Chains A and B, each alone.
Chain A
Amino acid sequence: MTTTTVDGHAADHHDAHEDHGPPKGLKRWLFSTNHKDIGTMYLVFSLIMFFIGGAMAMVIRSELAVPGLQFVHPEFFNSMTTMHALIMVFGAVMPAFVGLANWMIPLMIGAPDMALPRMNNWSFWILPVAFGILLSTLLMPGGAPASGWTMYPPLVLQTGDAFPFLIFSVHLMGISSIMGAINVIVTIINMRAPDMTLLKMPMFVWMWLITAYLLIAVMPVLAGAVTMLLTDQFFGTSFFLAAGGGDPVMFQHIFWFFGHPEVYIMILPAFGVVSEIIPTFSRKKLFGHDSMVYAGSSIAFLSFIVWAHHMFTVGMPLTGQMFFMFATMLIAVPTGVKVFNWVATMWRGAMTFETPMLFSLAFVFLFTIGGFSGLMLAIAPADIQYHDTYFVVAHFHYVLVPGSIFAIMAGAYYWLPKWTGYYYSEKLGKTHFWLSTIFVNVTFFPQHFLGLAGMPRRIPDYSTQFADFNLVSSIGAFGFGLSQLIFVLVLLTAKKGAKADDRVWEGAHGLEWTVPSPAPWHTFTTPPKARIANEAFE
């Protein structure tokens, strides 16, 4: 790469040695150091994991459709809830956002690639190994892990042969995430186009920078916690074993010190995606760009001081409860700033409602519902009633499904023409959107009522008083699952539409829209001129 600036983005002005296309066959993917190829692999991997995790959700909802034990043993049911969560969190949502980051961050900041491309290859290829190991536990004596994704001791120590494999796979997922986060930080700090100051960065890049710092701080904490579980099980330590003088509640503190920022790791990039899409389809600049950055940073900071709201019922001093309750409620302020800014961006905009915008609008509405139920759960005395009920399940699924996953879908539709060079079928996209939106609410809204009525989570059977809402929820879940097949159809027909322009969407602004569609294998081999970066920002 040269530092000489030339006119234009120079997508086709390569250094001589880079004037080649991708290698052919398997080698292209196995040894790839190209951010676009690695981004594609992340996205395909996350889609596969989404369907595997989704299939497990179908097992859960089949069993819960009517009272009584129908299809699976209770032990296997517990494995399904555990594996569903681990796969969706670490295998579907996080890799999908890393895939979007890989594809879009270099294009948005005018960099030729990620700063550490070989490490980027490692970050990705560790993941299939990690999840291969995790999924292989389904076939092991004693079954797959069944103690919940939180892996609380001493229950998790009763896992059969799967235990060391669980710990190893979680370590691998952590290593992959940390390497990915290092790459994002190093790329954004060192590879921005000339004159693209930090506050001129697109919001998706900003939210990812904050997310990467969160990952650096908390993934090692999870790794530390599971390392201690491993030594408790096999090396005679008693970090968490009461019989040996250890403290099982300490695990909960350490886990949730990781676990709460993890929630924001899954939602801040979603905020970034939505903050790119709403201005485009409102044909206005993002309202309050800088305040969005400060709000994102505030959310990240606050996420470190609220972890014990997940464990109000373990018994803690009143002052502790008060602190974690009020600190949690404080998060509503920067989150409210964001929601206000999205609405203000749309205010008097020339709005159109293509699929990415529809998913983004649904995100704003439905994520906010998840936020409100989160506020309800933050109230310590109320939480003692809600704790471990389906109200909690409803809350976090509203945050993660019409929250994170809708934002991923929005991003995929938004950037798909830039990736493939063709417009996808808007008709299929909108069908996918409407069916997903209807069924996601049919699935998860009744779970609020189940929880308030006292139905506990993580049970394969329940009292007959919960039968009706469970049946509705299961019908919704199957409808939602089947609706996602439309997305596969959209991808399979992605190159059958009209040829996409460079800018793709009329209202789109940013460096990524200055390169051809589909984006060439090498882009910005010479940095874009400052003027062009500025115009893209304007």
Chain B
Amino acid sequence: MDELERKRNIRRTAILVAAVALAFYLGFILLGVMRA
């Protein structure tokens, strides 16, 4: 794996994991909105 590819993979993994975190945050607020 060359350096460029590794950097691309790091960026991809980081964005993916951050997106999951954001989805949980917004998802649970949405749950509150729908329940209230």
Contact = CB atoms under 8 A, between A and B. Distances in A.
A182 B23 CA distance: 14
A1 B21 contact: no
Given A239-B32, A245-B36, A189 B21 contact: no
Contact of B17 (A1, A216, A221, A238): A216
Contact of B10 (A116, A178, A237, A250): A116
A2 B23 CA distance: 35
Nearest to A218: B24
A191 B34 CA distance: 41
B36 A237 contact: yes
Given A1-B3, A224-B32, A228-B29, A185 B24 contact: no
Contacts of A185: 13, 17
Interface string A238-274: 1100000111001000100100000000000000000
A109 interface: no
B25 A220 contact: yes
A515 to B, nearest CB: 22
Interface in B1-36: 1-3, 6, 9-10, 13-14, 17-18, 20-29, 31-33, 35-36
A220 B28 contact: yes
A250 B1 CA distance: 48
A217 interface: yes
A217 B35 CA distance: 21
Contact of B6 (A190, A216, A224, A238): A190
A277 B7 CA distance: 34
A216 B21 contact: yes
Interface in A140-191: 178, 181-182, 185-186, 189-191
Contacts of B21: 178, 182, 216-217, 219-220
Given A182-B14, A221-B25, A228 B32 contact: yes
Nearest to A116: B14
B25 A223 contact: yes
A254 B32 contact: yes
Nearest to B1: A3
A186 B29 contact: no
Contacts of B14: 115-116, 182, 186
Contact of A224 (B3, B10, B29): B29
Q: A interface, by DSSP: helix, strand, loop or mixed?
A: helix
Contact of B13 (A3, A190, A219): A190
Contacts of B17: 181-182, 185-186, 216
A239 B28 contact: no
Interface in A175-233: 178, 181-182, 185-186, 189-191, 216-221, 223-225, 227-228
Contact of A247 (B9, B18, B35): B35
Contacts of B28: 220-221, 224-225, 254, 257
> In this complex, which of A3, A190, A223, A227 has the most chain B Cβ atoms within 10 angstroms of its Cβ?
A190
Contacts of B22: 220
A190 B24 contact: no
Interface in A479-525: none
B2 A250 contact: no
Contacts of B31: 254
8 contacts: A182-B14, A190-B6, A190-B9, A219-B21, A223-B25, A224-B26, A237-B36, A257-B28
Interface of B: 1-3, 6, 9-10, 13-14, 17-18, 20-29, 31-33, 35-36
Q: Ordered nearest first, which 7 A-B pairs have the shortest CB separation? A: A220-B25, A224-B28, A220-B24, A239-B32, A186-B13, A224-B29, A115-B10
